[in-house]
Structure 1
Amino acid sequence: MRALRWPATAAILVLATLTGFARPARADPAVTWAVCPEDARVECGRMRVPADWASPYGPTIELQMARRKATDPAHRLGVLIVNPGGPGGSAVNMALDGDFFSADLRKRFDIIGLDPRGVGRSAPVLCSQALVDAKPSPLVGSEAGFRALADYNRRLAADCTARSGPVVQHADTGSVVRDVEALRVALGEPKVSIFGASYGSMIGELYGDTYPGTLRAAVLDSVMDHSADVDAFLSQETASVQDSFDEFVKWCARDARCVLRGQDIPALWATLMQRAAAGTLEDPYDPPAKLGVWELISAAFSAFYDPQWFSFAHYLQDAAEPGQAAGRIAVPPIDLTPNSFPAVFCGDWSLPVGDFTAYRRRIDALARIAPQVRASPIALSAAAGCVGWPHPPASPQHRLAPARMPMLLVNALHDPATGHAWAQQVAVQLGPSARLLTYQGWGHVAYSHSPCVKAAVERYLIDLTLPPVGTTCPAVEPEPFGIG
């Protein structure tokens, strides 16, 4: 996912004021289009919608989008609404990327990236950089630490709301789905197709559940299971990260280019974890700053996304031998930062972890599932981030109704963020109209990693042909990049 370039702090403050506290008005579906400054071949659009769809005459927010029109209008099939996930990834940037989708797909569809409310350019959730940086580790070890975690989350919610307005309380995916339907109406399209990756898969799932009659096609890539309760959410996510760690160890044993080949990686990792717990592990890329246990686990999790096995092996080697890597260039601090993650997650998930004793019991259970990685950083961050959050979820979990049209699910067998089990579970919920295509390899967002998956996805989007039941795509060995 590509990072969004943000304007200066003063401009951000103005943007937060304009989008978070718009004067009350009814938001009729209408999009204003203009040429995007980043690319003259792409149009950028703006549309106002209610901050709270239950109060259509209340405060409004402005949504922003980008549209790359079909290059073969005579054979145009309609609109493809895309989202890269996150939560926090910019769909506008995804549409601006002219290379993500193939030329064949770009011929047949207007590709529209709508930044979800609270994300990117759509009334972004902005918070104090200093407060976000002060986020406590979810691996709390005491009753006092658990109370401090809840207090922090309440302070964060208040800070973000003061800077961003009502969008903080209404950043749930159910509201995003209402926004997508408003966009469809504004465009005058009888139906839309959706490509949702990672967290964006929930947009496709919930749109199909809510508006099945206006969905032409849906690709769910790296599938979220929005029916999982708190224990399934934590345990299945954690098992996926541990699986990715185990796959990294296997890769290093078979690839001569791994700088740790021949070493006992679990033993090396255990040593680094001990040093992190003791506060003596230096960040190899930002010395003399120290890495804690949570930071080390999170570094591994991030490396498994592509996966970046080659550079992660170098990272572990440099961490084991401090002083070998160059430090990063210092970046001056800023006052505000985009921070939609807790507002979105706490709007979408009911994750009651109980009191400190119950919470600690859950963490200990996760460590038994995943002896190396201990817990999924994304799952435990979500659960911990909702402790004390002042707003109840507006779109809590539920099972999906059977799909009323063909839907294509794709997932890597070894995905650290959305495990293959989730894709299997969602396929069962959606029933016989849905089809799961498994990429036998590694990483997150299978479309980006497998030409076989890409071909199947685009064939389905163009002519609605699903692959045969049980179809898989072969693994593609990762290539080294990002080293140095």
Structure 2
Amino acid sequence: MAPSVQTINSIRSIPFLALACLNAAAPLTPSSMQWVNCSSIDPEMPPALECGQVQVPLDWNNVKSEHIAIGLVRIPSSNREKLGSLIYNPGGPGGAASDVVIAQASGVQAFSEDLVSNFDIVGMDPRGVGLSPRIKCDPDLYNKRNAWFPKDETEYDAMVQANKDLWESCERLTGPLLYHADTIAVAKDLEAVRKALGDEKLNFMGASYGSQIGQTYAQLFPKNYRALALDGITDHAQSATDTFVTEVSTYERSFERFAEWCDENEDCALHGEDVQEILVRLVDEANDNPIPAPGCDDKVCRSNMNGYEILQVTQNGLHFVPVIEPLSAGWVGLAGALAQASQGNATLLSSTSLLAQSEDDPAFAGPAISCLDWISEGNSFWDLKWKMELGRTVAPVTRGVSQSYQIQAQCLGFPKKPTNPQQDMTVKNEGQPPIFLAQSKYDPSTSYVWAENVRKSIESVAFALRDGDGHTSYFLFGELSKMMDEYLIKGTLPSNHTVVKT
């Protein structure tokens, strides 16, 4: 679901067309590949970074179909006794692993020194994303404000038509890749990359939606991994309604804890105030009259924000309690942004939700992948109306706004049925190394409930819980991060019922 690492805007991605020259120079096959120094392609890239590609079928059901090039970056380990490659995915869907690895190579810590020493750190961008061939759409249609919470059938029909217009542009600009980017295809690409890297077994770390990639890989190739560390767990077996209720519940509880934190911390710009009441009033006012964001100009970010947009960015703002540069301004930053908006200026909130800038903007991949992976369970205004009412009942402050709801609304009008809908996600890996699940107790996006469901669906599994807030845990570099490192490097497992504070 919600990504644990959004595109790091301060780090430039290598242009795909420039990376594509690797094919002309040295054709790659799933059984072998070559690396080049990324700075030879783009002089601004960190000198320690290497770039490569692996050719895979566009359609894994027809391996003789045209091939596409999966883009990779890596930081090679200088340790002669290294354990091979560690492939990383940051979530999303639509998050580019290359952004995170480039950030690490540029001096922003994303991985511990122990991991960097023991593994080649590899960022594999899933098909449709980053350095791989991208999902392309019309940015003007994507940026057009849509009534995701329609008041009547007229607004609903307009929303669905706007969706259809967008998806038709994506089909025209992207071609058949638009319908071959589900998580099953990504997991098969991951296996092809493992083989091309020459690793006997897969080492993988997946955050948020990346945990679904890991689960799917383990279903398909249960004997081909050495270590799968999954952080912030998604559950692809729940129905659309159950997924929605679970996510909005965890968002609501997370915001309650944010309000409690504000009561206890003078660093909170809303300290001493009724934070939940402020959000309710702010959303009501913004839905009546969008709040100006004078620091935005409708080119990079919206020049005003309505209430539902405020609730969307607030959920993302809860992802990290501490400030983690350049990833998150933390809860202090969220409090400041809400305080500013309550005074009539939504610039700080709007600037965290950027508009699409081009036909290959990173924003398009997530919705497209989601429409291939999730059945919405509704195709009428009244279906959506009752879903909205359910959200308000379960979460009266945050009102059902969530990534789950956004997927269900935005995929109405998608041209084809999901190719990888919700399904039994049992992993039959008895006798294989346990898969490590790491989960925070009060995650605003990926619920502890999902993690428990997934834990019970995997035959060989280890589980550890962080008794704390925020989405995913590895970037906090606390106790749970160290446990993940120990698992990935040594195979060390937590004891049953392990609960840590950091």
Which of 23, 45, 57 does residue 52 from structure 2 map onto?
Answer: 45
Match of 1:481 in 2: none
Match of 2:487 in 1: 460
Distance of 1:150 and 1:268 partners within structure 2: 32
Which of 317, 322, 325 does residue 303 from structure 1 map onto?
Answer: 317
Distance 1:230 1:83, change over 3 A: same
Report SS of the residue matched to 1:213.
coil
Distance 1:383 1:332, change over 3 A: closer
Match of 2:149 in 1: 139
Measure how far apart 1:141 and its partner are: 1.7
Match of 2:344 in 1: 322
Identify the range of structure 1 (167-176 vs 389-398) with the bigger mean alpha-carbon deviation. Answer: 389-398
Q: Aligned-pair RMSD on alpha carbons?
A: 2.7
Distance of 2:195 and 2:387 partners within structure 1: 45
Contact preservation (8 Å) 2:29, 2:196: no
Which of 202, 211, 217 does residue 227 from structure 2 map onto?
Answer: 217
Contact preservation (8 Å) 2:250, 2:444: yes
Written as runs of structure 1 = structure 2, the 5 A alignment for 1:220-231 is 220-231=230-241
Match of 1:345 in 2: 370
The one-letter code sitting in structure 1 at the alignment partner of 2:447 is G
Measure how far apart 1:292 and its partner are: 0.9
Measure how far apart 1:144 and its partner are: 2.2
Distance of 1:66 and 1:283 partners within structure 2: 37
Distance of 1:26 and 1:44 partners within structure 2: 13
Distance of 2:242 and 2:345 partners within structure 1: 41
Structure 1 unaligned segments of length 5 or more: list them.
476-484
Report SS of the residue matched to 2:204.
strand
Contact preservation (8 Å) 2:244, 2:402: no
Which of 441, 460, 473 does residue 413 from structure 1 map onto?
Answer: 441
Task: Tell me, yes or no, if structure 1 residue 56 matches structure 2 residue 81.
Answer: no
Written as runs of structure 1 = structure 2, the 5 A alignment for 1:109-258 is 109-258=119-268
Measure how far apart 1:202 and its partner are: 1.0
Report SS of the residue matched to 2:439.
strand
The one-letter code sitting in structure 1 at the alignment partner of 2:82 is R
Contact preservation (8 Å) 2:235, 2:454: yes
Report SS of the residue matched to 2:149.
coil
Distance of 2:121 and 2:144 partners within structure 1: 39
In the superposition, the TM-score normalised over structure 2's length comes to: 0.86
Which of 427, 430, 437 does residue 401 from structure 1 map onto?
Answer: 427
Distance of 1:229 and 1:76 partners within structure 2: 42
Contact preservation (8 Å) 2:164, 2:414: yes
Distance 1:105 1:304, change over 3 A: same
Distance of 1:362 and 1:324 partners within structure 2: 28
Contact preservation (8 Å) 2:304, 2:346: no
In the superposition, the TM-score normalised over structure 1's length comes to: 0.89
Q: Give the number of aligned pairs.
A: 463
Match of 2:308 in 1: 294
Report SS of the residue matched to 2:223.
helix
Identify the range of structure 1 (448-457 vs 220-229) with the bigger mean alpha-carbon deviation. Answer: 448-457
Distance of 1:401 and 1:324 partners within structure 2: 45
Match of 2:8 in 1: 3
Report SS of the residue matched to 2:116.
helix
Match of 1:68 in 2: 75
Contact preservation (8 Å) 1:29, 1:49: no
Which of 60, 77, 84 does residue 83 from structure 2 map onto?
Answer: 77
Distance of 2:78 and 2:448 partners within structure 1: 35
Structure 2 unaligned segments of length 5 or more: list them.
40-44, 322-329
Q: Deviations over 1:360-415 (max 9, x none)?
A: 10111111111111114311111112112112222222222243321110111111
Match of 2:33 in 1: 31
Identify the range of structure 1 (217-226 vs 261-270) with the bigger mean alpha-carbon deviation. Answer: 261-270
Measure how far apart 1:32 and its partner are: 3.3
Distance 1:322 1:149, change over 3 A: closer
Distance of 1:272 and 1:28 partners within structure 2: 53
Task: Tell me, yes or no, if structure 1 residue 426 matches structure 2 residue 454.
Answer: yes
Match of 1:91 in 2: 97
Q: Deviations over 1:230-256 (max 9, x none)?
A: 111110011111011101110011112
Measure how far apart 1:342 and its partner are: 1.7
